[in-house]
Structure 1
Amino acid sequence: MAPPNSQKRVKGVSIFRPFVYGSIAKPFDPETNPKPEGTPADHTHSWTVFVKGVDDTDITYWCKKVHFKLHESIPNHLRTVENVPPGGTYEVHETGWGEFEITIKMYIIPESLEKPQTLYHHLRLHPYGNTEAEKEAMKAAPEILSWNYEEIVFNEPYENFYDILTSPVDRTKGAKGGTGKGTRVMKGGMVGSVGERVALVPLTSRPGQPYSKETEKNELRRLREAQIKVDDMVAELKKEIEEKEAERAQLKSLA
């Protein structure tokens, strides 16, 4: 039995953390992506399924580990990835020939007292799109990307977890990209450079980073344009119905 929890929740507070999950697939090619020795003959692609921070920001201070459930035909189809360095990616690399659904379960750090979060991702190995132009563009791309933006919201987190989510980190302890190991800066301060933990989406997109305020702005513009188009179609259809009703009424009066 778990010990009793004496912590209090921080009332009226919600903290969100964005992240990206999905897959990257690449067809085997003798020059650009040679098939590793021992790979089954019918395997056509190498692929990676992953969970990481937006713009490669650190999520390891709140995400303890990630469990991936692959297709049962894959050896060791239950994979757990943990002990990822700050700013790193929870990922599994494999090869195969077919598409299938992957169950992804994210385990929050024990201090959170939160339940695991479950996601589902359909592995994509082949180009897809809504238009022929999109399909052709994906065929020309060296990799098949299937990414999803997601946010996890911690409503009224417990005090210890709230402290972890909001405390600055010491960046003087050499780590990848200048990001420290998530050491909390206690009251009274610490010697060295200190950085804030942030959960902001980048302002602009770049290769390998499709999620940004710029992307959001463009998507909203597309939605507005689509809404205008739908409104015009509705107005045109309404006008057509009114004309047909008038014509029906005229024919009825002549009968």
Structure 2
Amino acid sequence: MSNKANKRVKGKKISRDFSRAPTPSYNNAIHHLIGSEAWKLTDEELKAPNIRNRDPLPHAGWRVYVRPVPGGPSLTDWLKRVTFTLHETFANPVRSVESVNPVTGGFELQETAYGGFQIIVKVYFQQYATEKQQQRQHYLLLEPYVGDADPERALHERERLWKAGGGICRSETVEVIEFNEPTELLFDALTSNTQWDYLQAKSKGKGRAGYSVADNEDRIVGEPPANAEPGSLWSKEHEDALVETLRKMGDQCDEQLKKTLERSLELNQANGQMKEGAAIDEKLLALYESLPPKKK
């Protein structure tokens, strides 16, 4: 093995902008998406032998994946394979994926199911990274989540979300992996301009929802686009809305905390007064007991 695979790059960090050369500094922050997509199976699909003979009968198709963020660098420069651990009722529940989808650049697994469940996602790094595998979790949603609304309203809201998503229920989270003082080989891979070659190849395909380098040259890796794709919440618009919601909830929490502290102060004062009263009672009792007994 090359010496570069054993030597560490001290005091370096990589911040990427895919239209220019990376800037060296201390840590390497790697952004990627862990998510899933689900859709309703058609009547024809339900008649397929590999589906109709299953018990219980699945009603949804789904795909779980680890993908680059939109406009981000390739995963294969640092990621070797991904293992998805499904529910124990699946045949061969531990599935290993070592090749990427050329359209999305992600490690993906497709299946069918009748209910949602927790998926364990393990990512294994390239050998020259000399890093231990890491584990994440992802919950598979087979239909849009609408909360605890009344049944009729929930039905309409769920149908609205299905339509808004183009018949796809998508659930994604952005994950970050940091390589602290990576090996020289990994450092070279993470600073290579070839990480974005797959974007150029993907943008040439007709009908593919690809991201070209030119279209994203003003974006920072890991930064969401201004507007979301159909069925996705990965956008600056939704991020700003979420931040505003969290701010309002924070204000409400602060107000409730203020009321709680005021009430606590009142109770402490009342408790203090009760203790003072108890002390007076004890003194009166002691005084009473010290009095000589009455003569009969």
**Normalising to structure 1: TM-score of the pair?**
0.74
Tell me whether 1:156 sits opposite 2:167 in the alignment: no
**Residue of structure 1 equivalent to 2:251:** 228
1:50-199 → structure 2 map (5 Å cutoff):
50-55=65-70, 57=72, 58-84=74-100, 85=102, 87-130=104-147, 132=149, 137-142=157-162, 143-169=168-194, 171=197, 175-177=201-203, 199=221
8 Å Cα contact 1:171-1:178 kept in structure 2:
no
In structure 1, runs of 5+ residues without a counterpart are: 180-192
1:211 to 223, 234, 239: 234
**Residue of structure 1 equivalent to 2:223:** 201
1:4-23 → structure 2 map (5 Å cutoff):
7-12=6-11, 13-23=26-36
Cα-to-partner distance string for 1:169-201 (whole Å, 9 max, x where unaligned): 28499722259xxxxxxxxxxxxx9x99x7332
The 2-side partners of 1:241 and 1:92 are apart by: 54
With over 3 angstroms needed to count, the CA separation of the structure-2 counterparts of 1:173 and 1:27, relative to structure 1, is: closer
With over 3 angstroms needed to count, the CA separation of the structure-2 counterparts of 1:127 and 1:73, relative to structure 1, is: same
With over 3 angstroms needed to count, the CA separation of the structure-2 counterparts of 1:130 and 1:50, relative to structure 1, is: same
Deviation at 1:26, TM superposition (A): 2.0
The 1-side partners of 2:5 and 2:113 are apart by: 49
With over 3 angstroms needed to count, the CA separation of the structure-2 counterparts of 1:107 and 1:177, relative to structure 1, is: farther
The count of residues paired between Structure 1 and Structure 2 equals: 238
Deviation at 1:131, TM superposition (A): 5.5
* Identity across the alignment (%): 29
The 2-side partners of 1:231 and 1:101 are apart by: 34
In structure 2, runs of 5+ residues without a counterpart are: 12-25, 163-167, 206-213, 282-296
8 Å Cα contact 1:54-1:211 kept in structure 2:
no
**Which shifted more, 33-42 or 95-104?**
33-42
The 2-side partners of 1:61 and 1:20 are apart by: 16
Q: Which of the pair is proportionally richer in helix?
A: 2
Which segments of structure 1 move beyond 6 Å, counting only runs of 4 or more?
2-6
8 Å Cα contact 2:4-2:183 kept in structure 1:
no
With over 3 angstroms needed to count, the CA separation of the structure-2 counterparts of 1:118 and 1:228, relative to structure 1, is: same
**Which structure has the larger Rg over C-alpha atoms?**
2
Tell me whether 1:48 sits opposite 2:68 in the alignment: no
**Which shifted more, 14-23 or 104-113?**
104-113
**Normalising to structure 2: TM-score of the pair?**
0.65
The 2-side partners of 1:172 and 1:77 are apart by: 31
Deviation at 1:147, TM superposition (A): 1.9
The 2-side partners of 1:168 and 1:5 are apart by: 19
**C-alpha RMSD over aligned residues:** 3.7
Q: Say which SS state the counterpart of residue 204 (structure 1) adopts.
A: coil
